[in-house]
Amino acid sequence: MKIAVIKGDGIGPEIVTEAMKVLDAAAAKYGHTFHYTQLLMGGCSIDAYGEPLTDETIAACKENDAVLMGSIGGNTTTSPWYKLPSHLRPEAGLLKLRKSLGLFANLRPCVLYPELRAACTLREDISVKGFDMLIMRELTGGLYFGERRTEAVDGVMTAVDTLTYNENEIRRIAVKAFEVAMKRRKKVTSVDKANVLDSSRLWRKVVTEVAEDYPEVTLEHALVDSTAMQIVKEPSQFDVMVTENMFGDILSDEAAMVTGSLGMLPSASLNETKFGLYEPSGGSAPDIAGKNIANPIAAILSGAMLLRYSLDLNEEADAVERAVQQVLTEGFRTADIMSEGCHQVSCSEMGTLIAQRV
């Protein structure tokens, strides 16, 4: 199996190296071979080629089964990359890559590990139940991509943003949600604002139609404002949550916050095939780059998502996730999640410990 690797900037090379270490441990245990193609994107690509993403890198990504990526970008105040025009800055490469690869479905799991319960921002009677939810956000449509304008109307400055979805865009993200739910606890919560918006009423109609093809999966519809409250009231009730672009943007940040540790969270962006881009949710943290103290767990869990969703290696993905759980249970922590009574380890040590337990 072929995996494109974009280590990126800042702590990216460090954490992706550990993710590859863990992937190789899974491959060795289960009899697979992963062939890696090392590519540049972001600031490192600007330094090498004068642009954040080359056409050659896009073509190389398409020749692989999936892309494993680190963090992109640097210090926005001091880095020379941010003196360039916006289309030549590091993050522009990521947006271009998502568009070029047709990555319309963003998957962001939010898991509260029992060992990290003290970091949860919720009351103890809520956090003690734990939670494991996955928010699936439509990534290429809706308000963020609709027609927009700002103009004077009768002498008053007026801004207009257009929220547009067609049934095909809704159907493909709904299908992804139900496919993912079949690999989890077989429940989908579709989030909308159908009491107000026409786009949400179409969303609800199409998702209901898709549900008929997945009789094993329980579907529930929820309004976005109610869902925002339920995430802080009883997050354990959610399995897979599917929603449109702006709602997903907001809810996924809320859900990430209640875990108390953004640095532990992986993500995936998928297209209409099994191809996906897998990356940690955190940033490039240039202030700690090269110090071997970054937390690689988000990158490692992104690798587990790659195994599960692009390669259909569910047993192998389970093994990686169990290994992460075991290392946390044994009390090993990187600096960002360190607590009293635990044993602090470096980035590379954490990767080795997890690989050994795979």
The residues annotated as belonging to the active site are: 144, 193, 225, 249, 253
Which of 259, 307, 310, 301 shows the shortest CA–CA distance to 280?
A: 301
Which residues, 6 or more positions from 152, have their beta carbon under 8 angstroms from its beta carbon? Answer: 158
- Residue owning tokens 């997890």: 354
Burial letters 150-168, b for 16+ CB under 10 A, else e:
eeeeeeeeeeeeebebeee
Count H helices, E strands: the chain?
A: 12, 14
Count of C-beta atoms within a 10 Å radius of residue 80:
10
Residues pairing with 136 in the sheet:
107, 242
Which of 243, 248, 140 shows the shortest CA–CA distance to 199?
A: 243
Which residues, 6 or more positions from 100, have their beta carbon under 8 angstroms from its beta carbon? Answer: 58, 61
